Structure 1
Amino acid sequence: MKFIQLIWGIAFIFSFPTLAQTKATVSIQNNSDLDRKEAVVSVKWDAVLSHFPQIDTTNFVVINLATKKQVSYQLEHLGNTSIQNLLVQVDVKAKSTLLLSIQKGKAAAIITKTYARYVPERKDDFAWENDKIAFRTYGKALEKQVGDAYGFDVWVKRTDRMILNERYKLADYHVDHGDGLDYYHVGFSLGAGNMAPYINDTIRYSGNYHHWKVLDNGPLRSTFQLMYDTWNAGGIQVKATKTISIDAGSQLNRIENQFTFDGNKPMPVVVGIIKRPEAGNILLNEQLGIVGYWEPTFEKDGTTGVGAILTTPVINMLVNKQQLLAKTTVKNNESIVYYAGAAWNKAGKITNSKKWFDYLNDFNQSIKNPLIVTVK
Structure 2
Amino acid sequence: MTEQNPNTRALAEAGVSIWLDDLSRERIATGNLAELIETRTVTGVTTNPSIFAAALKNGEAYAEQLAQLSADGADLDRAVFELTTRDVQAACDLFTPVYQASNGVDGRVSIEVDPRSARDAEKTVAEAGKLAEAVDRPNVLIKIPATEEGLPAITATLAQGLSVNVTLIFSLTRYREVLNAWLLGLEQAHAAGIDLSTLHSVASFFVSRVDTEVDRRLAESSAEGAGELTGQAGLANARLAYRIFTETLDTERWRVLEAAGARPQRPLWASTGTKDPALPDTLYVTGLVAPGTVNTMPEKTLEALADHGEVTGDTITEGYEDADRVLDAIAHAGVDYNDVVAVLEAEGVEKFVTSWNELLETVRTALEDSAAR
* Structure 1 length-normalised TM: 0.28
Largest Rg, 1 or 2 = 1
Which structure's residues are more often strand, by fraction? 1
Higher relative contact order (CA 8 A, sep 6+): 2
Which structure's residues are more often helix, by fraction? 2
* Structure 2 length-normalised TM: 0.28
